[in-house]
Amino acid sequence: MEKNKNEVRIIFHIDMNAYFCSVAEILDPSLKGKAFAIGREGTTKGVLSTASYEARKYGIHSAMPTIEAYHKLPSLLVIHLDYQHYIDYHYKFVNLIKEYTNIIQVASIDEVYADMTLISKTRHPLDVAKEIQERLVKEYQLKCSIGIAPTLFLAKMASDIKKPLGITVIRIREIKDILYKLSVKDIYGIGKKTYPRLIDSGIKTIGDFMNPDNRFKVIDLVGENTFVYAYNALTGNSTNIVDPDKYSVSKSISEMRTYDRPITSVDECMLEIRKLSRSVFNRLIDEKYYYKTVNITLRDTQFKTITRQKTLDEYSQDPYLFNDLIYELISDNFKDLEYRLIGCGLSNLIKEDQIEEEYNLFTYLDIDQKKKNIDKIIKEFQSKYGKNALYIKNDKN
């Protein structure tokens, strides 16, 4: 669907602040004001899903190995919550926003785009934004930042400027005043490998990036297609269409097996889950998806079934991380019971082309390099765990 250039739309990007930690604080108010992180309790293994603002002051962040976080802050609290709690609060805040518009595009469990053009004809958008913020805090104890702009890209940029509980408006005529002074690393979607190259070459701010005198230097660093897309997005020439159906299909990949002889030991369960995970990861690569959520299913001989999940802050195709998270989930949840069904899977998936569009909007060079690295990672994994650890259909070696 093409953008109607003659219509100025009012787009909100509503981004929940430290969402996973906020939900944890709601369920356990004693955590408020403390440095804590979401991860695996009682061990130094694994990685953190996210960290509270207090913990971030010590340099602790999402995807950080737990042992590294403890080195930075030995008193860090690491807690684990059932993922269902996050889903429940997701629906609460999305349903609240639906009271203002039905044109909503869910970007992830803790952020949405909303087209507020219609309601803004009778109410000032700032009043609407403030009311949404106040209601989320009052009704659900959830804090959010809201960006308001005529395009999705600019609304996302705006919501990142003031956290927590910020409201930022970016009009086309205000882009230079608001954005040009920011670092190039603040451009939505820029890769962690791309912005250091720019900064090292003297392209330190968005203003430097957009400076016509630096055009060819930037093109040399990020490529012409990348530069053209970034330039257009940063001048307001990107989509203003909020598409409620964009992520309406919740794709998942899973494998389960029922056993005639019950599984009674965690070691045996690990062996079986490893076999299932090979098939799951093979399908992920074959269908060109990235994953964000890893899950396991266990059913005992009394037909009691549990499903446990762990969600990352960023999408991944890393087999090491997948393997680590599955083993964490099994270790945390395997009890002294007899199990007749075991399963594992990946959900919250996104296609490679959507990764390029939504998460690396103009880092095509990084995407190409990342794809090359995937084969290398898989081969390293097979070298460590055996040739059949991850059987990839198209592997010619």
Quick: pLDDT tens for 89-123: 999 999 999 999 999 998 888 999 999 999 999 99
- Indicate if the alpha-carbon torsion angle 261, 264, 268, 269 is positive or negative: positive
Of the ranges 207-221, 225-239, 249-263, 315-329, the best mean pLDDT one:
207-221
111 is catalytic: yes
Per-residue pLDDT for 357 more than 80?
no
> Considering the domain boundaries, does residue 326 fall inside one?
yes
Per-residue pLDDT for 363 more than 50?
no
pLDDT in tens, 50-83: 899 999 999 998 889 999 999 999 999 999 888 7
Q: Do 39 and 68 form a contact (C-beta atoms < 8 A)?
A: no
Q: Are residues 331 and 225 in the same domain?
A: no
What pLDDT does residue 315 have? 85
d(CA 10, CA 208): 28
What pLDDT does residue 237 have? 92
> Considering the domain boundaries, does residue 99 fall inside one?
no
Q: Are residues 59 and 76 in the same domain?
A: yes
Among 34-38, 305-309, 325-329, 358-362, whose mean pLDDT is lowest?
A: 358-362
Q: Are residues 380 and 259 in the same domain?
A: yes
List the beta strands (DSSP E) in 119-230: 144-149, 167-169
> Considering the domain boundaries, does residue 226 fall inside one?
yes
**Domain range holding 193?**
183-248
> Considering the domain boundaries, does residue 126 fall inside one?
no
Average pLDDT over residues 334-359: 80
Per-residue pLDDT for 358 more than 50?
no
Which residue among 84, 100, 121 closes a domain? 84
Among 58-72, 129-143, 179-193, whose mean pLDDT is lowest?
A: 179-193
Q: What is the mean pLDDT of the chain?
A: 86
Q: Are residues 258 and 342 in the same domain?
A: yes
pTM for this one?
Answer: 0.65
Q: Are residues 260 and 240 in the same domain?
A: no
Per-residue pLDDT for 41 more than 60?
yes
pLDDT in tens, 274-308: 889 988 998 888 888 889 899 999 988 887 888 88
What pLDDT does residue 397 have? 38
Which has the higher per-residue pLDDT, 378 or 100?
Answer: 100
Query: How would you class 251 by CB atoms within 10 Å of its CB: exposed for 0-12, middle for 13-18, buried for 19 or more?
Result: middle
CB proximity list for 30: less than 8 A, separation 6 or greater: none
> Considering the domain boundaries, does residue 6 fall inside one?
no
Number of structural domains the chain divides into: 3
Q: Are residues 265 and 236 in the same domain?
A: no
> Considering the domain boundaries, does residue 371 fall inside one?
yes
Q: Are residues 284 and 341 in the same domain?
A: yes
Q: Do 326 and 344 form a contact (C-beta atoms < 8 A)?
A: yes
CATH number of 26's domain: 3.40.1170.60
DSSP collapsed to 3 states, 249-310: CCCCEEEEEEEEEEECCHHHHHHHHHHHHHHHHHHHHHCCEEEEEEEEEEEECCCCEEEEEE
Active-site annotation holder among 25, 54, 111, 255: 111
Q: Are residues 352 and 380 in the same domain?
A: yes
Q: Are residues 281 and 373 in the same domain?
A: yes
What pLDDT does residue 6 have? 57
Per-residue pLDDT band for 364 (boundaries 50, 70, 90) equals very low
Average pLDDT over residues 382-387: 60
Dig out the tokens for 31 from the structure: 């955590």
Q: Look up tokens 């999940």; give the residue.
A: 309
Which residue among 208, 228, 248 closes a domain? 248
Which has the higher per-residue pLDDT, 167 or 321?
Answer: 167
Q: Are residues 369 and 264 in the same domain?
A: yes
CB proximity list for 55: less than 8 A, separation 6 or greater: 35, 36, 37, 69, 73, 76
Helix axes 83-97, 19-27, angle to 10 degrees: 110
Per-residue pLDDT band for 371 (boundaries 50, 70, 90) equals low
Cis ω on the peptide bond leading into residue 319 (within 30° of 0)?
no
Q: Are residues 282 and 209 in the same domain?
A: no
